[in-house]
Amino acid sequence: MYQAFLNTKLFIVTYLILVLPTYLADTGMIENNSIPYVLSMVGIWGICLIRGHIIGKYWLVAIPSVAFVFDLTPALAAIALVPYLYHMLAMVIGAACLADTPTASDTYHLR
């Protein structure tokens, strides 16, 4: 199932869908904003773990984790732009890096 995230467009669209509740929670449009926020972050961590494994960048999950810390720490929440930038950074790195898949020259050795 996780091989579907080889497709970069699917990764970006899924990330954007999952990050939407975090933005709505920040604006106050969601009344009980903690449950949708946490569920969306769990989804973001999941797809970043999968995509990071596929592209060989296992640390990709750390980037949305920094956004999560900035959102939930009162002293850091005053800097509102940082979580948005970190989510954008995770999408750019996840999309820009190619998957570590073997090529035809890697699988067939001519003697």
SS3 99: coil
pLDDT in tens, 30-78: 666 688 888 999 999 999 999 999 999 999 999 999 999 888 887 877 7
Residue 1 has pLDDT above 70, yes or no: no
**DSSP structure class, residue 108:** -
Q: What pLDDT does 88 receive? A: 95
How would you write 41-85 as a 3-class SS string? Answer: HHHHHHHHHHHHHHHCCHHHHHHHHHHHHHHHCHHHHCCCHHHHH
Q: The whole model's pTM is what?
A: 0.80
Sequence ranges of the domains in the chain: 2-99
